[in-house]
Amino acid sequence: MQELIDKLNDLCDDQPFDTGWWLKDLRTGRTWDRDGDKVYYSASTRKIAIMMAALKGVNEGRFTLDQPVEVLPEYQRKISSPFGRVAPGFSMTFQDFLIMMIILSDNTCTGTVVDMVGLDYINEFCASIGMVGTTHRQRTPPEGLDWDHAVEETNATTAGDVGMLLDCIVQGMSDADEAARMGVTTELCQLGMDILTWQYLTEKLPAYLPQGTKVANKTGHGPRTRNDAGVVFLGDDPLYVLTVYTDRVPVEMPNGLPGDAEANMHIARMSRACYDALATVPAAV
């Protein structure tokens, strides 16, 4: 696999911005990374941990998936929230809030879920499973961040932390002990993975994969970052976990194209390189 790792690093070296990544071949258990423990602005990739902490709360009886939760005006003030543009005062189930938080990255839903679950509880969940580089500081992205903001001002994580979390979910779908380590059940791990596969934001990890490839992912973006973290399948079998975090993405690339578009394509190219290398290796290897 050295050829693949060299390819990924070459792709990163070709960019004028920073890239950290973490990769696990789910058929062999081998992992590789580039700055896998470097702390990056997590952006909305943090919502994977929020979802799993919420499902832990469900398992503990704090919430039920079918309990009604009202969409309130106080949570609809985020421009980046699709639900910020609809009339307030309606209700959805708690599960629906989790779904919309992931598949549309809705911050009305995120703010509601974080307030229900609690920032301390979410941080304790992350620490309990070894996400040592992860800190949830705000319920939703802080307003007014400029390109030069410090990572310490924001919700932050590492490529390795989120990769490990996704791997735990994969293992927890079939291993009750692994699920219990996160405070959930195999059924709740399966639900979390299902929700991630319903993702509507597919311009990064899934973009260059063969048509119909199953991907469970959560994207994130900020003033200078484009991230994605997910599980790519071969058929219905999990093939690899790949998490990619970028920083100091320029507004405009040297060729005049938008930096965010180039960062999205960069992540897509990395994922396709992983797919081409790993999908062709026999499962017994």
Strand partners, 242: 23, 230
Residue 166 CA to residue 160 CA, distance in Å, equals: 10
Contact of 50 with 136, CB cutoff 8 Å: yes
The whole-number average pLDDT for the span 239-258 is 96
Residue 55 CA to residue 60 CA, distance in Å, equals: 9
Contact of 147 with 224, CB cutoff 8 Å: yes
Residue ranges of domains in the chain: 2-278
**Could you give the C-alpha distances from 100 to 3, 106, 199, in angstroms and in order?**
38, 6, 9
The whole-number average pLDDT for the span 90-113 is 95
* Topology at the third CATH level for domain 2-278: Beta-lactamase (3.40.710)
DSSP letter, residue 136: -
The whole-number average pLDDT for the span 248-263 is 94
Residue 110 CA to residue 108 CA, distance in Å, equals: 5
pTM for this entry: 0.95
285 pLDDT band, cuts 50/70/90, is very low
Model confidence over 2-42: pLDDT tens digits?
A: 999 999 999 999 999 999 999 999 999 999 999 999 999 99
Model confidence over 191-236: pLDDT tens digits?
A: 999 999 999 999 999 999 999 999 999 999 988 999 999 999 999 9
Residue 56 pLDDT > 50, yes or no? yes
By CB neighbour count within 10 A (0-12 exposed, 13-18 middle, 19+ buried), where does 96 fall? middle
